[in-house]
Structure 1
Amino acid sequence: MSRGSTPLTREETTSILLGDLPGAGLPDLVYADGPNGVRGVAGATAFPSGLTLASSFDLGLAERFGEAVAREALAAGRNAMLAPGLDIARVPRAGRIAESLGEDPLLTGEIGGTIAAAFQRSGVLSVPKHFVANNFEYLRTGRGSLERRSAAIDVRVSRRALLELYAEPFRRVLVKYRAAGLLSSYNRINGEYASESAAILRLPFEEWGWRGVIVPDFIFAVRDDERALLAGLHLPALGGMAGRSREMVEGAPAELTDRLAEDVADAMTRAGVHPASPSTEPLDDRASQELAREMLEAGSVLLKNDGLLPLDLAAASSLALPGIEDPAHLLVMGGSAAVTLSPGRIEPLAAPLTRLLGDGAVTVVGGTLGDVPLPTLTVEVIATVRDAITGREQTLTLPEFAMPDPPAGVGADWSATLSCSFTPTESGDHRLALTFAGDARLRVDGIEVAEGYREASPMIAGPDYPLQAIVPLEAGRVVTLLVEFDSGSAITIPPLGIRPGFELGLLGPGDTIQRAAEAARAADVAVVVVGRVSGEAMDVDSLRLPGDQERLVEAVAAVNPRTVVVTCGGGPVLMPWADRVAAILHVWNPGERFAEALTRLLFGLAEPGGRLPLTFAACEERTPVSSPDRYPGLDGVVRYEEELLVGYRWYDAIGEEPAFPFGHGLGYTTFELHELTVTEAGGQVTGTVLARNTGSRAGKVVVQLYTSSPEPAGHPPRSLRAFGTRRLEPGESTVVPFAFPVADLAAYDEIGGRWVLHGGRYGVEAGLSSRDLHARTELPVEGRILQPSDR
């Protein structure tokens, strides 16, 4: 074995596998989280979320993003990025959906691979995550304190779905784009932890021919260090040796340890990793900040437009901006992908609008609307606290409805029941917000109004994750509030300030919505900014807008037909009010340049260039995972019984109409596609389609190519195979070429353990979304069994 041309000694091999890379003459790996920018670095650019970039369908933009993040990482003294995120958006409520790249394996793999390649051209090791089938947060690390943490969720998934859907983005990024690192996930897969499973850890090497280094996720990914080593986990942890010992490494088979150490040395060489330089924090990369604005404009999705957008300066001389005055909690997601905001770089939403329209033209109606914690309820509270291990209870009286820590004498695993009575002084809707880490249930007069879990709130960085409820109360009538809490889901990491606890906030009736409606009635146009927080360590409790934001939208739309709703959030949002507003613009987690980009998008100084990388459901009860065994699972087991029918594939298969389909986005002009041609030769499928701008403005067309199999059993009705973007002037036409390996059409045969290219005539369709298909043809393919080298 060797380090380049220099053989590694036995001591160097042991050093590498214990995480001491300098001991073997290799640069130490200094990691940073990076799906949305460099986390934990003062001044780093808070880019829009990964989903925003995926929405652009723009590989050139993805490359520039990768270069910018690598540049900032190196400036901050980091030489390895835990990015890109490649987890398929299987569960619409998944908390980390924003840091990955959508529901389709091709789009995820191509955008992610372009980012990874840009990292490594800059000398930064790309470590894509989370390998594999890590598609939601519930029980991802189990329940209980660090010492007593229970087993993580067990994902039961077929070999075919694993390879064709969940592992496929990783294959593209590792093989086609040559990412040299990989982060293994927390969850179990068919009974084995991903980080301890030889079947999972050897898959990239034995089936894809990859060479690289696999490291485990933080703390909880490895439960048995020796088992993980023998299964093929290269490094023991993200820094340090965790529970891996010298005796463990030296006692393992030399053939295994030699190979693992050689993989690490080879990965470092291929990625061009050099010793990390001293940090130059705080960063202030102006080019990155401009790119953040450009990315948001390219990835914002115009879901609906009744002709109102883009706004005409002459017809929109006055503008009401009701709702969330300070959207800071919506700019970034929470958790390890949350980039710290630089307050001096965050403009108020009204500032660029006022610069454009003039003083007095913009009316801001703020308030506490939004997905934020509320002032803690100050009232006498009776609390009964139980130690989960000893069973001992104690009762105490608290001056406010909060318990950030258990009382003395209670261990790390505990539960509590808190109750109080109070008498409202006003009648009307009261807003409750429970901010907590653990499992919690909120009851009002004995009726459950909210229930959820959080591993932490906030999680490492980013916003709090409040659990909200709106309850009508009557003045003078005594109300009983009850919170049932268990520390179970919470994790405890004292150095990061992460621990179980909770507080209940209350806000009485106010006139914010009334004032918003009055301002909207008096304005030419109303722009309502609303949103929902999400992130690592939680899944959202509902796809609806939390709190009273739906009431706000409806109140404004009722008095001004020229209402634009701007929705922020990591994933899909339910929009029961959609038919009552003129336009809907979805901006995901928009990052630090939100204010300027929003003004440019509203007034046509930039075009919303995004197309949905995941499906927006019409209702919560009709999604591919709307049964408990599929999500969140039963008895710690979740079954991926939908097989390949994730996202748009499920909607197509059962004939369900989504609110907005995969690939949808309107822009500010219209397009038609014609003259689709396709041929196959030499293992490549190639073809062209003619795109024409039929509108009156220049704009971006995103051409999407889908195929359907002649062997319908077990196959999705259609799958994305290629995509391309072009900018066209009014009336302009252009030929958009595409190409992909014919092996991409193959299906995995579980019985034979092989890849099969079914023979027959494949349907080929070109469209502007998975439901807006303009041109169709067929592709004859000769069937055969594929060899590993074919893929």
Structure 2
Amino acid sequence: MAGNPGTSPDDRARADQAREAAVEAALGKLDLDAKTRLLAGQDTWSLPALPEIGLKSLVMSDGPIGVRGVRWTADDPSVALPSPTALAATWDPELARRAGTLLAQEARRKGVHVLLAPTVNLHRSPLGGRHFEAYSEDPYLTGVIGAGYVNGVQAGGVGTTVKHFVANDAETDRFTVNNVISERALRELYLAPFETIVENAHPWGIMTAYNTVNGTTMTEHRHLVNDILRGEWGFDGYNVSDWTAARSTVGAIEGGLDVAMPGPRTVYGAPLAQAVREGRVEEATVDEAVRNVLRLAARVGALESAEPVVTELPAPVDGSALAREIARRAFVLVKNDRGALPLRPGTVALIGAAARDARVLGGGSATVFPAHVVSPLDGLTAALPEGTLRYAVGADPATELAVAGKGFTLRAICRDSDGNVIGTASAPNGQIQWMGTDLPEGVTHDRLHSVELTGTFTPRDTGPHTFGIKGAGRFTLTVAGTTYYDEVQHPAEGGDRFEAFFGTPVPRAQAELTAGEQVEVSLTLVVDLPEDMPYKVVAFALCHQEPQRDADELIAEAVEAARAADTAVVVVATTERVESEGFDRKDLALPGRQDDLVRAVAAANPNTVVVVNSGSPVELPWRADVAAVLLSWFPGQEGGAALADVLTGAQEPGGRLPTTWGPLSDAPVTQVVPDHGELHYTEDLFIGYRAWEKAGRTPSYPFGHGLGYTEWTYESVEVDGTTAKVRVRNSGERPGREVVQVYLAPTEPDADRPARRLAGFAGVEAGPGETAEAVVRLPRRAFEVWDEATAAWSFVKGSYEIQVGRSITDRRITATINV
């Protein structure tokens, strides 16, 4: 639980009482209008200050792998950690806590009080578009990693907002879908991580989701929010809507929603004050919401009359070093035949567009802008002896345009309706995302008529370059003095309301350019914001695609490089059009010709290592043909350096799978598209490894699987009550870390219960020949089921087998207990 180190429980209790007194005193000074104003965003990212009670403006920011701050721009860089799937793959709550400590440091640097993270929805289906942004398919692993993260952030004096409460497990029709879920599945699966985090980390905030659950939209779900979250679990933090999710003034406030974001136009503020005056809402209900917001302010130090929870900040954290450590600890080596890794001395052919232009994070609101990125090519160039590395593109996963990046130098020019310049700003990544009042100095929405992205582009390849536009509105696109497009680009029919941020770029021009020869480029948008928009957003992007060489020719070049090398390392990847916010995946295939590339390289060089750069599962149809497969997830800004550490053997890959990998044709749960507005969770308790086992199907790589560079022998397990002590021996030739996994299986089969479930785990380290003991305490909840008849948890007595091993399928030793 967050707090100053060294303080006693009694001291913390007295401090809590003092903060509560300050909150009550502040609340008593506010009139109805001030109260309701405090519950509505004043802009995109903040709540209003109330100087009359010494309340500062509370500032929020997206996460979860970094802290973007209130500006969506590469001008304000952030440390970019590996994806949440990567963090969960470390199976290390302490490492998650350290990640949280760094993010609190980043938040304070950017003036942020509350981080809108972590995401603890489950990997119900591998097709979920934001799969990479959540931790795991298992509720226990998700809860434990999430609790570590929350404890770390809040120990740094910054609030967290655990999201998305609840069952926001897919993106299709996310604003309107009614997810129909049994009470038992809700309790045992989808609510479970939130409950674990509330109990073990005491989060200061929670975010209710867009979707509906069993007929009630989550921002109005009194049963799940007031009865369970606050009532049963004792959550005393603030509850904020997902952005634009709140739909009803009375329904939201009575459903337990404290804050409606973003502002300034929300269902709270003046509409809420009016509802109170008309007798449709009790003022005491408003007071309770205000109390929760003031308590948050007191905890983070934004209420002058209250001492914040944290007065002694943690020691500074080296962001780059921690990002590199998490990445290498997260890499999962799923196959390593003939000792292909670590790399043997000799020459290496590095192949793949993603090896040069790394994808280090997922798309959507999780996006941050790191000051630098270490690609696999950068990392291996630095790590390997000079002259031993050769690079070939091989195949490009990007089949669509991407936001203008390398080679572009751009700025934004704002003009009024008369064409006068009223402001300028840099635009280092070719994308404008101005939300609310986040406009260039001197610019207001009332005066802003047009925004021009203008500057230069220096190609790195000769040939036909494609330019395009992401966004909607009247655009003019000019390249090298020629105007290629001067029309209205309409939004996609039925598209996500945040399409300007997450939508598909549309190609609008093709220009023959010469490598190294700089040309002028310009993209102008005539700003026409609808009056009924809940908040003002100016968002569009200049997009670009390099000349597309013949795919067979590129693969042939890669094969030649592989044939001449001792080892071929192929980096394959997904793109932002495969894994991002706002849409779900259609399949699990790698985009482009990457599968063909791997097959061709493996045929030319039997010592082929494939690095899979994706945030969530993809199909690996060639996995039997290659020597080694290493999953790197989205590895963050230091991913290439971490990859070099692992490939060369300077560090071992430490990850274990937090989710099952297998082909879509065998995946037991694949339905993410609603039918007539409803998505029925017909699989009930059986998602992830539970479903694979029930269906009797064998995945490509099972939950918990992961190899290191040493071997482990499981020697014994002793059980004392519900504590398992497991002795393992490092039977290999180098030091290593093992994740000892404990699964609990009822000895009497029950069709309504999974055959086994993860009940605990522990990481141990040992040198060659040394032994280590893992102590795993099995929680009471592991022996309980939700009884829908009594609406209560039921402890299931009987005989259980404790199964200990390296994955859900690699169980080495067992013991039996009776409870």
**2:818 aligned to which of 749, 762, 780:** 780
1:718 positional shift: 0.9
What is aligned with 2:425?
none
- After superposition, the C-alpha distances for 1:655-679 in whole angstroms (9 at most, x for unaligned) are 2101100100001111122322223
SS of the residue corresponding to residue 363 of structure 2 reads coil
The amino acid of 1:363's aligned partner reads R
**How many Å apart are 1:15 and its aligned residue?**
4.4
Select between 204-213 and 68-77 the one with higher mean Cα deviation.
204-213
Q: Does 1:497 align with 2:526?
A: no
Contact 1:371 1:531 in 2 (8 A): no
Amino acid in the other structure paired with 1:346: V
* 1: CA distance, partners of 2:260 / 2:640: 43
What's the secondary structure of 1:459's corresponding residue? helix
Distance 1:286 1:320, change over 3 A: farther
Instruction: Give the Cα–Cα distance (whole angstroms) in 1 for the partners of residues 57 and 766 of structure 2.
Output: 48
**Cα offset, 1:466, TM superposition:** 9.9
Decide whether the 8 Å contact of 2:120 with 2:135 is kept in 1: yes
Task: Report the more deviating stretch, 115-124 or 502-511.
Answer: 502-511
Report the CA distance between 1:242 and its aligned residue.
1.2
User: Counterparts of 1:171-250 in structure 2 under 5 Å?
Assistant: 171-202=195-226, 203-219=228-244, 221-240=245-264, 242-244=266-268, 245=271, 246-250=273-277
Q: CA deviation at 1:13?
A: 4.0
Q: 1:57-72 maps to which residues of 2 (within 5 A)?
A: 57-72=91-106
User: After superposition, what is the alpha-carbon deviation per residue over 1:515-570, rounded to whole angstroms, capped at 9, x for unaligned?
Assistant: 00000000000000011121111222221111100011011000000100000111
Which of the numbers 114, 120, 132 marks the counterpart of 1:86?
120
1:718 counterpart residue number: 756
The residue type equivalent to 2:725 in the other structure is T
Which digits, 9 at most, give the CA deviation of each residue in 1:762-784, with x for residues without a partner?
Answer: 22111111111011112211xxx
The 5-angstrom pairing of residues 308-319 of structure 1 reads 308-312=339-343, 315-319=344-348
- Amino acid aligned to 1:631: V
> Per the alignment, in what secondary structure is the counterpart of residue 8 of structure 1?
helix
Q: Distance in 2 between matches of 1:356 and 1:35?
A: 30
User: 1:406 & 1:257 partners in 2: Cα distance?
Assistant: 38
Relative to 1, partners in 2 of residues 1:130 and 1:596: Cα closer, same or farther, differing over 3 Å? same
Instruction: Report Cα offsets for 1:415-453 as digits up to 9, x if no partner.
Output: xxxxxxxxxxxxxxxxxxxx997469xxxxxxxxxxxx7
- Name the SS of the counterpart of 2:162 in structure 1: coil
SS of the counterpart of 1:511? Answer: helix
Percent same amino acid among aligned pairs? Answer: 33
Shift of residue 330, structure 1, vs aligned partner: 1.6
What letter matches 2:298 in structure 1? T
- Conservation of the 8 A alpha-carbon contact between 1:705 and 1:720: yes
Conserved in 1, the CA contact under 8 Å of 2:472 and 2:540?
no
The alignment yields a C-alpha RMSD, in angstroms, of 3.2
Alignment of 1:361 onto 2:398: no
Query: Quick one: which of 391, 395, 398 aligns to 1:371?
Result: 398
Partner AA of 2:322 in structure 1 = L
**What is the distance in 1 between the residues matched to 2:337 and 2:276?**
65
Of 727, 733, 758 in structure 1, the residue corresponding to residue 765 of structure 2 is 727
Please say if residues 125 and 669 of structure 2, whose CA atoms lie closer than 8 Å, have aligned partners that are also in contact: yes
Ranges in structure 2 where 5+ consecutive residues have no aligned partner: 1-19, 42-46, 309-315, 404-465, 476-488, 508-532
1:302 to 303, 309, 333: 333
Match of residue 447 from structure 1: none
Cα distance in 1 for partners of 2:499, 2:387 equals: 39
Partner of 2:647: 602
Say whether residues 1:29 and 2:58 are aligned partners: yes
Kept in 2, the 8 Å contact 1:154–1:638? The answer is: yes
Note the residue ranges of structure 1 that are not aligned, 5 or more in a row. 142-151, 278-284, 377-399, 410-434, 441-452, 468-490, 782-791
Q: Kindly indicate whether the alpha-carbon contact (under 8 Å) linking 1:707 and 1:720 is maintained by their aligned counterparts in 2.
A: yes
The CA deviation at 1:222 is 1.4
Q: Distance in 2 between matches of 1:497 and 1:368?
A: 31
Quote the Cα distance in structure 1 between the aligned partners of 2:647 and 2:784: 44
Counterpart in the other structure of 2:558 = 516
Which of 716, 721, 727 pairs up with 1:690? 727
Compared with structure 1, are the counterparts of its residues 162 and 286 closer, same or farther at alpha carbon in structure 2 (3 Å cutoff)?
Answer: closer
Distance (whole Å) between structure 2 residues aligned to residue 631 and residue 365 of structure 1: 38
1:335-381 C-alpha deviation (Å, 9 max, x unpaired)? 11111132xx22343333233333321111126612352599xxxxx
Report what 1:569 is aligned to.
614
Taking a change above 3 Å as real, the CA distance of residues 454 and 666 of structure 1, as seen in their structure-2 partners, is farther
Matched with 1:638 is 679
Instruction: Note if 1:539 corresponds to 2:591.
Output: no
Counterparts of 1:575 and 1:455 in 2: how far apart (Å)?
Answer: 34
- Once residues 473 and 234 of structure 2 are traced to their aligned partners in structure 1, the CA distance between those partners, rounded to angstroms, is 55
Asked whether the 8 Å contact 2:469–2:542 carries over to 1, the reply is no
8 A contact 1:301–1:609 mirrored in 2: yes
Question: 2 CA distance for matches of 1:659 and 1:721?
Answer: 23
| Structure 1 match to 2:376 | 349
Aligned partners of 1:311 and 1:602 also within 8 Å: yes
State the Cα distance separating 1:579 from its structure 2 match: 0.4
Q: Please state if 1:17 is matched with 2:39.
A: yes
Change beyond 3 A, Cα 1:744–1:286: closer
Partner of residue 282, structure 1: none
C-alpha displacement of 1:654: 2.0
8 Å Cα contact 1:325/1:364 also seen in 2: no
Name the residue aligned to 1:164: 188
The 5 Å alignment of 1:115-126 reads: 115-126=149-160
The alignment status of 1:746 with 2:792, answered yes or no, reads no
Counterpart Cα distance in 2 of 1:638 and 1:502 = 37
Could you tell me which amino acid in structure 1 is paired with residue 573 of structure 2?
G
Partner SS state of residue 501, structure 2: coil
Residue 25 of structure 1: how far off its partner (Å): 3.7
Specify whether residues 697 and 405 from structure 1 end up closer, same or farther in structure 2 by C-alpha distance, changes over 3 A only: closer
Who is 1:483 aligned against? Answer: none
Match of 1:656 among 682, 697, 701: 697
- If the length of structure 2 is used for normalisation, what is the TM-score? 0.76
Q: Partner of 1:430 in structure 2? A: none
How many residues are paired up? Answer: 667
Partners in 2 of 1:635 and 1:694 — Cα distance? Answer: 57
Question: Within 5 Å, which residues of 2 pair with 1:570-585?
Answer: 570-585=615-630
Cα pair 2:470 2:505 within 8 Å, conserved: no
Distance change >3 Å, CA 773–CA 405, structure 1 → 2: closer
Which residue pairs with 1:757 in the alignment? 795
Give the secondary structure class of the aligned counterpart of 2:94.
Answer: helix
Cα distance per residue 1:20-53 (max 9 Å; x no partner) = 5632543422111111111247221111101111
Deviation at 1:509, TM superposition (A): 4.6
